[in-house]
Amino acid sequence: MVARKGSAFRVRLFVQIFFFVLIALITLSKVLDEAGYTIPFLSTASLHALCPFGGVVSIYQYVTTGTIVKKVHESSLILMYVVILLTLLFGGVFCGWVCPLGSLQEWLGNIGRKIFKNRYNSFIPANIDKYLRYLRYGVLAWVIYATAVTGKIIFEEYDPYYALFNFWSSEITISALIILGITIIASLFVERPWCKYACPYGAFIGLGNLIRVFKVRRNSSTCINCKACDRGCPMNIKVSESNLVRNHQCITCLKCSSEQSCPVDNTIDLSLKGEKM
C-alpha cells in the first residue's frame, strides 16, 4: 500500500515552508529586538547561531583551542551534531527538506520548468557537469582552511544563505549579494545550482550518502524501466541505473520514489538494508 501520489510532495513542501518561514521570522525578530520590539515566543538568535555549518567550520578551532570561531555560538555545534545524526540516518535530508536556500532554489526552479519545459535542468552538458559537481568539495576545503587560519567565518563574505535573510544589512558584502543573485537567476535554468556546484555544507552532508543507514533502493524485479525516477530527480541522478543510490549529491527528496515519480508501487523507496521490496 502506497500513500497517494502528491501526498509526499505536500509533506515535504510543508516542512520546507515551515523552516523557511521560521528562519525568516527569527531574523525579523532579531532586527525588531535590536530596535526595542519583541515578537512573543520567537527566538532573537542570529542567523549564525542557527546555522549548523558554523559548527563544521569551527571544529578545527574548537578542537585545538577549545573556543568557537567569532560570531558562531554553541547552538551551531548542537545543530551540527543533529544534522550529522540525520545525515547518518537519511543522507542529504537536511538539503532536501530543511535548508531554506535549497527550498528557494527549488521553488524558483518551478518557474524555470514552466518556461523551458523539458529543456529545464539539462542545459549543462553531462560531460562537463560531472566534473563541476566536485567543485563544492574545493569550496569546502577552502572554507575550512581559511576559517582555521583566520579564526573568522570567512565564508560569510560569500554566503548566499546569509545574504538572503540579511540582504538589507550593512554586514552583507557585495560578493555575497552577487552570488545570491547568480544563484537566483541560475535556478531558472538549472535545479538547485548552488547545491550542486558550490555549497560547502552540501559537500559535507553529501559524504553521508555513502554510509547512511536508510538508502534509496530500486527493486529491479518490478521496475519497468520507464526512467520516470531519472526525470524526477532534481540532482540529475540516474536512479534507474542501479539498485542502490549512493550518489553524493542525493538530497533524499524522495521525488524519484514510488510515492512520487515512480509509477509502480514499492519499487523505489527509502529503506533499510535487506528490506524486501
Partner 1 sequence: MRIRANALGLVVIIVIFGGIAVSSLVGFWNTTNTKVPAQITSGEYAGSNDPADIRGSYSFADIRKNFDIPIEVLAKVFGVDEKNAEGFKCKDLEALYTNLKESGTEIGTDSVRYFVALYKQLPYTPSENTFLPSTAVKILKDKGVLNAEQEKYLESHNVVIK
In the complex, the residues that contact partner 1 under the rule CB under 8 A are 3, 7-8, 11-12, 14-15, 18, 43, 45-46, 49-50, 65-67, 70-71, 73-75, 78-79, 81-82, 85-86, 89-90, 93-94, 97-98, 151, 170-171, 214, 252, 254, 257, 259, 266, 269-272, 275, 277
Amino acid at 254: L
* C-alpha to C-alpha distance for 100 and 222, rounded to whole angstroms: 35
Q: Tell me the closest approach of the beta carbon of residue 28 to partner 1, in angstroms.
A: 16
- Give CA 50 to chain center in angstroms: 15
Residue 118 CB, nearest distance to partner 1 (Å)? 25
CB-wise, 133 or 212, nearer to partner 1? 212
DSSP 95: I
Cα-only R_g, the chain: 19
Q: Which CB sits closer to partner 1, 14 or 145? A: 14
Nearer to partner 1, 67 or 110 (CB): 67
User: Which residues touch 238 (CB under 8 Å, ≥6 apart)?
Assistant: 230
Q: How far is the CB of 260 from partner 1 (least distance, A)?
A: 8
**DSSP-assigned letter for residue 35:** T
CA-to-CA distance for 13 and 3, rounded, in angstroms?
16
Contacts of 132 (CB under 8 A, 6+ apart): 124, 196, 197
Smallest distance from the beta carbon of 269 to partner 1, in angstroms?
5
Q: Which is nearer to partner 1, 40 or 66 (CB)?
A: 66
Q: How far is the CB of 24 from partner 1 (least distance, A)?
A: 17
> Of 26 and 186, which has the nearer Cβ to partner 1?
26
Count CB neighbours of 115 within 10 A.
10
